[in-house]
Amino acid sequence: MEKSNIPFIALSFCLLLTSSHGWIQKGKRMVGDHKSILSNERKVYIVYMGNGHESGIPRVDDHHKILSSVIGDEKLAMEHRIHSYGRSINAFAARLLPHEAEQLKGMEGVISVFPNTLRKLHTTRSWDFVGLPMSVKRSNAIESNLIVGMIDTGIFKDNPFFDDKGYGPPPAKWKGSCDKGISGNFSGCNNKVIGARYYYDSHAGDGEHDDMSPTDSEGHGTHTSSTVAGGAVSGANFYDLATGTGRGGVPSARIAVYKVCWSDGCTDLSILMAFDDAIADGVDVISFSIGGSPTDYFVDSIAIGSFHAMQKGILTVASGGNEGPTMSTVANVPPWMFTIAASGLDRMFLTDLKLGNGKQFSGRETLNTFTPEKKSYPLIDGFHAKNHPGSGEDARSCSSGLDESKVKGKIVLCEDAYWSDTNRVLENKGIGFISPMYGTDGDFPSILPTTMLKADDCNSVEQYINSTKNPTAVIEKTRVAKRPAPFVADFSSRGPNYISNFILKPDVAAPGVDILAGWSTLNPLTESPEDTRYVKFNIISGTSMSCPHVSAASLYVKSFHPDWSPAAIKSALMTTTTPIKLGVKAGPLAYGSGQINPTGAVHPGLVYDLDQNDYIAFLCKEGYTSLMLSTILGDKVDCPKPPSSKAQQSVVTDGINYPSMSYTVRENTTNSVRAVFERTATNVGYGKSVYKASVVADKGLSVSVVPDTLTFNERHEKKSFKVMVRVDDLSEAEVFKGVLEWSDSRHKVSSPIAIVNYAIMHY
């Protein structure tokens, strides 16, 4: 599993996949076999060949011919082909030897061949916090015809958020299906959850304990789905915490579920199948809280799937990852995707520890659901609870070496402990757990009463234990407190973009810390077999939680502007954000344009629009060839030759009409940089308007705008301008930050500017 600063308690992360053979189950269809008939040398690859056929029928015969020519035997080719994509994407998956994969890469019509890899899964208060209360103006008739495609762990449809009372039949445009599965745990679709598909890739594992249906036995997909489009549920709470009316951002919208993540992982093979279907089914926005390490766009199932979604007018919103605060860790970075960071609310949870000497400390990072029955309990530390003189160091952290007779019935202080060490205390019949904080935002439930304290507070508890014969303490039930906000969660992945020097990622931030939403009652609260708590609502954290907030905000904007392109909706949300001012050194590399303001995005004034041709021009500039892009589109593409003059090389240009402006200097050869960002703004506000430019920039960053006034005479009129940026001494900072704002006195259209000196960046 990839490193994450979020403790693994209630989050449903996809786990490491090990098997390289098996079968795919899609609904009731089996593709391939379940027997281990292949040598260990064969692995699953995806062969990507561009746009799907207009008929939506997979080119199975073509795929078989290509595979036969490489393998050299038609029967073996038939056995080794796993799946042919074709509703929206032309590709196939097959079990290949390394040399066969290499041979396919050189064949005409093949764009890329890449291994089937692992991906991982990256609210009562949150919608009010971003300015989208229950009473907000809505276009309900249109909203009810919008469909969000959730590519995730499935859905627990019996959760109250998905009641379809009052809903009419699915929109006429819907072309999807409802696969009940073979486990019997999925009760079928309704007029709220209108579609459900599942894709199990047993090349990743044996699936022995998985629910072969669209049912969410993890909880993650139910949480994200209810955050986007859950209906209003009064009295939603987590053990009386965060009580209120829970709902999604677009509660009238419909949900289509594509289950790709299981107990043993989420694979490219399944992810691409889900994109292929979701695009053809007729969804309006795809919400994707999954990620992996960024790579070349067209050897990446996520980038490929979202590119073809963009072609059909579908915006893909994706989580940016939980690898922060380390720099250059952001995932899901293509410019046609909407990449989301996690911000925090003005609410926090504290778990108090009271010692027998009267001292009290407030802990974080835990959600203690247990109300103490007594005023105090015996207290011990791991070192004094050791079962052997030589086991003291292991016992300090409670990882091993504990004596049950010393731990039984006591609260245990564990130094340098992990969440898993809670189970060691429970196994030895302890009744409470104290440890130092991990230093991450987000709070998680534990199987025991638990609190995590600052290091100095832990030292004070240790001193108390050593100063008295019979130390006692009590861990109180978690309480709610206020905190300054918004802020960027420390676990939220940061830029700069690892793939494209000119695209600032993440794009925006949205609430992703301590979000209350729906949960699956098929999964114990802490996923531990000893845990007997099953809940309808859960509080969890991650960019997986911030992503569905922006998916909902995108649908909300679309409900007022159904004719807007994905890029226009994205621009509206990026240029109308709320600034994040609370101590984030990385600035826009942490939060992009800022925290979303959905109601403001309905009337943005100006948008920076993009279509397929703009992205193709960008890809040409990024070094993709005319032949490759022609193959992807099925139409001829002629990339212009790159400029060769020294004058052109001395000034960098990004070549894309993106709502933010960024350049990452990878090699600091001149210690200075000059960049020109050419932009075209489309007037979507009032007919006649005059916008004036203003710039705020860090010391050392010089910015000029030409022209600095844009005069529009009618709606949909376009005006172009240039933003010229200069840094004379790159060594002065890791990131030079600025903001360009266009204002007509009624609208403020803001774009972040970032020049990044990658060479001196501290990770």
What letter would DSSP give residue 503?
-
Q: Nearest CA to 154 among 273, 257, 226?
A: 257
Is the omega angle on the peptide bond into residue 214 within 30 degrees of 0, that is, cis? Answer: no
Distance CA(717)–CA(688), nearest Å, equals 10
- Cα 54 to chain centroid distance, Å, stands at 31
Phi, psi angle pair for 80, to nearest 5°: -90, -15
Q: Which of helix, strand or coil describes residue 433?
A: strand
Residue 674: beta bridge partners?
A: 726
Reading the block at residue 410, the tokens are: 């006591």
With vertex at residue 566, the alpha carbon angle to CA 641 and CA 636, rounded to the nearest 5 degrees, is 35
Q: Could you say which of 21, 63, 220, 549 is catalytic?
A: 220
**Per-residue DSSP letters for 582-640?**
SS-TTTHHHHTT-B--HHHHTS-SEE----HHHHHHHHHHTT--HHHHHHHHTS---PP
Distance CA(752)–CA(456), nearest Å, equals 39
Q: Could you say which of 80, 126, 144, 152 is catalytic?
A: 152
Compute CA distances 130 → 34, 125, 242, 245, 665, whole Å. Answer: 48, 9, 16, 16, 34
Cβ–Cβ < 8 Å for 154, 214: yes
* 603 catalytically annotated: no
H or E element at residue 473: strand 472-475
Residue for token digits 């999925």?
A: 186
* 287 catalytically annotated: no
* 152 catalytically annotated: yes
Q: Which of helix, strand or coil describes residue 709?
A: strand
Instruction: Name residue 307's amino acid.
Output: F
What letter would DSSP give residue 13?
P
Q: Nearest CA to 106 among 557, 592, 627, 537?
A: 627
What letter would DSSP give residue 8?
S
Instruction: Name residue 158's amino acid.
Output: D
Cβ–Cβ < 8 Å for 598, 505: no
Cβ–Cβ < 8 Å for 554, 579: no
Distance CA(124)–CA(126), nearest Å, equals 6
Cβ–Cβ < 8 Å for 600, 748: no
Instruction: Name residue 367's amino acid.
Output: L
CA atoms within 13 A on the CB side of 212: 18
Distance CA(397)–CA(421), nearest Å, equals 7
Neighbours of 168 (CB within 10 A): 9
Instruction: Name residue 316's amino acid.
Output: T
Distance CA(99)–CA(97), nearest Å, equals 6
Q: Could you say which of 301, 319, 435, 544 is catalytic?
A: 544
Q: In angstroms, what is the C-alpha Rg of the chain?
A: 27
**Per-residue DSSP letters for 57-101?**
---HHHHHHHHHHHHS-HHHHHHHEEEEE-SSEEEEEEEE-HHHH
Output the furthest CA–CA distance in the chain (Å, rounded): 84
Q: Which of helix, strand or coil describes residue 23?
A: strand
Q: Which of helix, strand or coil describes residue 33?
A: coil
Reading the block at residue 424, the tokens are: 């060691």
Q: Which of helix, strand or coil describes residue 116?
A: coil
Cβ–Cβ < 8 Å for 48, 113: yes
Reading the block at residue 622, the tokens are: 């990024």
Reading the block at residue 133, the tokens are: 């209360």
Catalytic residues: 152, 220, 544
